[in-house]
Amino acid sequence: MAAPHAPRTDDWWRDAVIYQVYPRSFADGDGDGTGDLAGVRARLPYLAELGVDAVWFTPWYASPLVDGGYDVADYRTIDPAFGTLAEAEKLIAEAAALDLRVIVDIVPNHVSDQHTWFQAALAAGPGSAERERFHFRPGRGENGELPPNNWPSQFSGPTWTRVPDGEWYLHLFTPEQPDLNWAHPEVRQEHEDVLRFWFERGVAGVRIDSAALLAKDPALADFEEGVDPHPYIDQDELHDIYRSWRAIADEYGGVFVGEVWLPDAERFARYLRPDELHTAFNFTFLSCPWEPGRLRRTIDDTLAEHAPVGAPATWVLCNHDVTRTVTRYGRDDTGFDFAAKRFGTPTDLALGSRRARAAALLTLALPGSVYLYQGEELGLPEAEIPLDRIQDPMHFRSGGTDPGRDGCRVPLPWEADAPYCGFGAGAVPWLPQPEDWAQYAVDRQSADAASMLALYRQALRLRRAEPGFGDGPMRWLPAEEGVLAFARPGGVICVVNLSAAPAGLPPHRELLLASGPLGADGTLPPDTAVWLRAADGA
């Protein structure tokens, strides 16, 4: 196992590699077919050996799991399917002993309909104080039979559901996820208490779900295409909320990463001002097709938009909501677009895998921090889930046209020859693993120097050893058409060939790492990346 390492600076988060664990699918310790904290604890040495700095857990709290745990019934309890609070505390301590920090996921926009607040609101009826914590309204139309406004959902389908007494409540996601009223002081107070609850337990950071959606236009006015401001995305009030959160995080030395999907770079950067969130996910990069000009522009824009607020960029290729990288890059249109998710898209997995390998070296060489989604290091493709096993509400709410997100949430393969590839020894996993899953198993890849896992292990080791990587400047180097080449301080160069022809390499003293074999003449084949040590060491 790799020796535990000391962080380079106190600002560990400025250049960290953060591994995302989807607990339900990571490892099943008790053999019931669902991943759990016992499974994670047993596999912490794997994460330490991989060489990541922190682990972000998607929600592990008590939840009916209607939306994979993003429907939280109680923030202070671990879902019994995953374990207990005492186990979570042990996990945080065991991770710390391996120099792994823990990041938890807070979902402030909504709660589960099973949350005591919502149950109380239903019971208390119209006009009650309990309903004030949510957005309950009478309907429109003669008998209130129409929803209070026309707001589009973040998932397909309506955003309002009517309760038996005739009132409607707002839910930007499923009806089982009622939106909280962030103008209510108790909503604010409760979340501040929840933040403290987890910081007190030693977590290093918090990922904020749907971070730009919490505040709503108080009039709940209709949405009009193209008219600003949007009634529920990126309302100015949010910044005040995050300033008070930041003050709490600062007491504990904790950090935030916001899930902020916003096309406007200037508005995005506001969330990263020094007294607000430390970081936010860079979804522009994730959504960018495998195309040299657009990638370069995205990288430049990202760095330019972060610079004025002094925040480090984050680089993300994959998460539990999007088509897996290998599959995406194996398709004609490799940019990620929720609306374009469909069944049966032709995919060239060999091409996707080559590109994903190159993209890994590109991403890990860029200035800032990197998020790695479980299974990305194994090169897992998106799995096809049989229709009768699909669980994701996104699929059902689309009327069955959208395959949903289960394909990137399939239980991990650990041991090629064990039942369910070593995910867990007992019951059938909650989502089926494809028949060819064994080839991706950790044990098989550990024994193969050319595997995706071997590439990630080497890249993470080098990234940690080379002081020029992580936070800091980068400089584009002259390169052939379709080739991206840049230098980091200390003389490390990254070259990525996105053209259709082999490319020459800049002068260098040493080949540090290659995402695939070089040409016999030393050229860089298409869809391949290398890390080099510059000839002059500068």
Catalog residues that contact ligand NOJ under the rule CB under 6 A: 67-68, 70, 107, 173, 209-210, 259, 320-321
Q: Give me the catalytic one of 30, 209, 259, 402.
A: 209
Q: Where do the DSSP E strands lie in 368-472?
A: 369-373
Residue 259 appears among annotated catalytic residues: no
Residues 6+ apart with CB under 8 A from 104: 56, 57, 60, 198, 203, 205, 206, 207
Please say which residue, 394 or 460, places its beta carbon nearer to ligand NOJ: 394
Cβ burial of 196 (10 Å; 0-12, 13-18, 19+) is middle
Residues 6+ apart with CB under 8 A from 284: 263, 298, 301, 302
- Nearest to 188, CA basis, from 235, 236, 241, 260: 241
Minimum Å gap between C-beta 59 and ligand NOJ is 8
Q: How far apart are CA 463 and CA 85, in angstroms?
A: 34
Torsion of CA 149, 151, 153, 154, to 10 degrees: -140
Strands 483-488 and 369-373: unpaired
- Nearest to 390, CA basis, from 375, 380, 408, 403: 403
Residue nearest to ligand NOJ (CB): 70
* Partners of 320 in the β-ladder: none
Residue 142 appears among annotated catalytic residues: no
Tokens of 515: 């995402």
Q: How far apart are CA 463 and CA 470, in angstroms?
A: 7
Q: Give me the numbers of helices (H) and strands (E) for the chain, helices first please.
A: 14, 18
Please say which residue, 167 or 179, places its beta carbon nearer to ligand NOJ: 179
Please say which residue, 115 or 320, places its beta carbon nearer to ligand NOJ: 320
Q: Give me the catalytic one of 89, 186, 251, 264.
A: 251
Please report where in the chains the tokens 């590699």 appear, as a residue. 17
Q: How far apart are CA 234 and CA 267, in angstroms?
A: 8
